[in-house]
Structure 1
Amino acid sequence: MRRISPNSKLVVALPDQEACIQKFLTQSGTFRHGDLLVNRDGLRIVSQNEEGKVIKMNIQETVCEQIAQELKINLSSLNSYIVVCYQSFYDNGAISIVLEYMDGGSLADFLKKTGTIPEPYLAAICRQVLEGLMFLHHEKHIIHRDLKPSNILINHRGEVKISDFGVSAILASSSGQRDTFTGTYNYMSPERISENRYSYVSDIWSLGLVILECATGRFPYPPFESFFELLDAVVENPAPSAPPDQFSEDFCSFVSACLEKQPKERQPARLLLQHPFLRKYDGSDIDLASYFVSTASPLATFNEQT
């Protein structure tokens, strides 16, 4: 049998979004038609107009229903600011997800190369994230619950998209509140920690921390010996703020609006899209595509070998 090296290029076809992916697999599990690039970081499916990445996750039987619900949400969340889930399927106790391929990686990856991001580009990034959150909150009734730099993806076209809903769920309540305590601790809002209850604006708190981290190049809270100390600081201490001697008044105001400790006073995505920090760049020629490409080369490279 001919062996395939980790960077070999095969010929497969990207399955139609509505088709069952098993129809494109042979009995041995290989693809039938089109372009498939095998890489140690995953599988990249390529067609003329669409790109995807197959991510395989081993899951326990007890969480199958939760993952299935997440897939259902992703598959129905078609929006320009949300990473597309093309298809998903189970195989021998594992679930594979075909996701849109974002060749710039995540904001976390980008920050490792750039250190910080200037305000004009942050405004352009933030606008796209807020558009994605507004779609999730008001169209799909979903709280992301795990918004952080590694879950905001970018590509060479200057697109910024929200990914990895983790444990996000469709909310049955019209108030949009959930009682579960899940997600990444670092970016949790005070009400999630102290009351174990939160709403859509909990994602706005997370966004505020993300934007401030992108601006300063460091996580807004100082390092603590334990995550319990961090959680206590989030609840008991004043919210982080942007240094006024380093950033514009509009940027400082935007961060403060996101990091309002009282959730009832925290502005939703719809209002934040009208904030002066974003409005002042309306009509400006902010080329995120050139910035992403020139500042950091594509993070996921696939060498073609025959």
Structure 2
Amino acid sequence: MKRGCLSPNLNLSLPPPEQSISKFLTQSGTFKDGDLRVNKDGIQLVSQSEPGAPPPIKPLDDQLSLADLEVVKVIGKGGGGNVQLVKHKLTCQFFALKVIQLNTEESTCRAISQELRINLYSQCPYLVSCYQSFYHNGAVSIILEFMDGGSLSDLLKKVGRIPEDILGAICKRVLRGLSYLHHERRIIHRDLKPSNLLINHRGEVKITDFGVSKILTNSTSLANTVVGTYHYMSPERIRGNSHGNKSDIWSLGLLFLECATGKFPYSPSEPGERWTNVYEVVDAIVESPPPRAPSGQFSPEFCSFVSDCIQKNPEDRKSARELLEHGFVKMYDEASVDLSSYFSNAGSLTPKLPI
């Protein structure tokens, strides 16, 4: 392999000659299957050893380069950058590659990339794993775990609305991820929305893009823009006031109310009308009373949960840790809700990819 742009943290160790590359799996997630291990330390190929003994790993001096990744297709586009499905040529492992073009000095881009690598270095099972980030050809590229079910937004488009028991199971997973970000890492997501909650065939739900706002706010080319999607932005952020992790809780309440009802919680006063510009939306968020879940359609627990999230005063909102103890979150036992089957039956999973 050619020496490339990635950090030495992403190591590739070659297996013994008798081992076949066909053994390597192509599913998403964190692995300890066969000879492929993908974790916070990167990608490693390991040789088999006696049962119970840790497998030996041979270090390789060469660094992995972009040349080792084959682009399969574009799977997402947005203001934060494009996302490509890529395949590692040697192992046939699939990843998501997010590419963010930045119009700023190269030294700044490299500093941002390094800071992002530190911020996203995580073992939390409720956050999309970031395996590496680096600067290359005027862009910051991030190698991410590939979630083959797409986003909660994609799922919502297919099913119209999501049943309350399914939402309860999803909510518990999202809150665990938020609790880790807020209380252990002191990170504010700033752009929590259905398209930033990803799902996969295992029934896992994970938060993504929690470090991209760090890139955008540190870029001189984007310093004057507001990071985040206006529709899910808290009133204090829209006003330009100081904000903390409770701004994410507002977004959480809005997105779950949208998933439950099948429509965005804020709508024009006249039936059949549509918002004509973003200013009308933000004005409604700041000036109108906070939306509530219709009590006749949902359980008292769900209505209470939404109310505890969508409070105009951030001090009145529950924290992620407090919400994990909420009756709505506790009323659905994880073992009784099969998210894997629900995601599969909804047709939200990516068709089987060729090796």
Structure 1 and Structure 2 fold alike (TM over 0.5): yes
Distance 1:160 1:49 in 2: 24
Distance 1:236 1:216 in 2: 22
Which of 62, 69, 90 in structure 1 is aligned with 2:115?
69
In structure 1, the partner of 2:192 is 147
Q: In the alignment, is the contact (CA less than 8 A) between 2:113 and 2:133 conserved in 1?
A: no
1:39 matched to 2:72? The reply is yes
Distance 2:259 2:322 in 1: 22
1:24 matched to 2:64? The reply is yes
1:167 matched to 2:213? The reply is yes
Secondary structure in 1 matching 2:63: helix
Q: In the alignment, is the contact (CA less than 8 A) between 2:190 and 2:248 conserved in 1?
A: yes
The Cα offsets for residues 137-169 of structure 1, whole Å up to 9 and x where unpaired, read as: 011100000000110000010110000122148
Secondary structure in 2 matching 1:24: coil
Distance 1:21 1:83 in 2: 28
Per the TM alignment, residue 302 of structure 1 is displaced from its structure 2 partner at its CA by 3.2
Q: In the alignment, is the contact (CA less than 8 A) between 2:155 and 2:348 conserved in 1?
A: no
Q: Structure 1 residues 281, 87: closer, same or farther in 2, change over 3 A? A: same
Per the TM alignment, residue 211 of structure 1 is displaced from its structure 2 partner at its CA by 0.2
Secondary structure in 2 matching 1:239: coil
In structure 2, the partner of 1:6 is none
Higher RCO (C-alpha under 8 Å, 6+ residues apart): 1
The Cα offsets for residues 197-219 of structure 1, whole Å up to 9 and x where unpaired, read as: 11111100000011011011111
Per the TM alignment, residue 45 of structure 1 is displaced from its structure 2 partner at its CA by 3.4
Counterpart amino acid of 2:296? D
Q: Which has the larger radius of gyration?
A: 2
Q: Structure 1 residues 254, 39: closer, same or farther in 2, change over 3 A? A: same
The Cα offsets for residues 35-85 of structure 1, whole Å up to 9 and x where unpaired, read as: x664122243369897522233322225624454333311x2321111001
Counterpart amino acid of 2:287? E
Q: CA RMSD in A?
A: 2.9
Q: Structure 1 residues 22, 94: closer, same or farther in 2, change over 3 A? A: farther
Which of 173, 176, 184 in structure 2 is aligned with 1:128?
173
Q: In the alignment, is the contact (CA less than 8 A) between 1:136 and 1:142 conserved in 2?
A: yes
1:271 matched to 2:311? The reply is no
Secondary structure in 1 matching 2:336: coil
Which of 342, 345, 350 in structure 2 is aligned with 1:291?
342
Q: Structure 1 residues 150, 272: closer, same or farther in 2, change over 3 A? A: same
Summarize the alignment of residues 74-113 of structure 1 with structure 2, pairs less than 5 Å apart: 74=120, 76-113=121-158
Distance 1:18 1:284 in 2: 31
Among the aligned pairs, what percent are the same residue? Answer: 48
In structure 2, the partner of 1:239 is 290
- Which moved further from structure 2: 234-243 or 14-23? 14-23
Structure 1 unmatched runs, 5+: 1-9, 170-179
Summarize the alignment of residues 188-207 of structure 1 with structure 2, pairs less than 5 Å apart: 188-207=233-252
In structure 2, the partner of 1:253 is 304
Distance 1:15 1:281 in 2: 32
Per the TM alignment, residue 235 of structure 1 is displaced from its structure 2 partner at its CA by 1.2
The Cα offsets for residues 6-49 of structure 1, whole Å up to 9 and x where unpaired, read as: xxxx9998888357997234xxx532xxxx66412224336989
Per the TM alignment, residue 95 of structure 1 is displaced from its structure 2 partner at its CA by 2.6
Secondary structure in 2 matching 1:23: coil
Secondary structure in 1 matching 2:144: strand
Distance 1:206 1:145 in 2: 9
Distance 2:262 2:42 in 1: 42
TM (norm. structure 2) is 0.71
Distance 1:113 1:60 in 2: 37
In structure 2, the partner of 1:208 is 253
Secondary structure in 2 matching 1:98: strand
Distance 1:286 1:109 in 2: 20
- Which moved further from structure 2: 51-60 or 119-128? 51-60
1:55 matched to 2:101? The reply is no
Which of 257, 278, 291 in structure 2 is aligned with 1:227?
278
TM (norm. structure 1) is 0.81
Q: Structure 1 residues 15, 58: closer, same or farther in 2, change over 3 A? A: farther
Distance 2:174 2:320 in 1: 9
- Which moved further from structure 2: 186-195 or 251-260? 186-195
Distance 1:80 1:48 in 2: 23
Q: In the alignment, is the contact (CA less than 8 A) between 1:105 and 1:300 conserved in 2?
A: no
Q: In the alignment, is the contact (CA less than 8 A) between 1:144 and 1:168 conserved in 2?
A: no
Q: Structure 1 residues 257, 100: closer, same or farther in 2, change over 3 A? A: same
Per the TM alignment, residue 193 of structure 1 is displaced from its structure 2 partner at its CA by 1.6
Counterpart amino acid of 2:67? T
Q: In the alignment, is the contact (CA less than 8 A) between 2:154 and 2:348 conserved in 1?
A: no
Q: Structure 1 residues 15, 244: closer, same or farther in 2, change over 3 A? A: closer
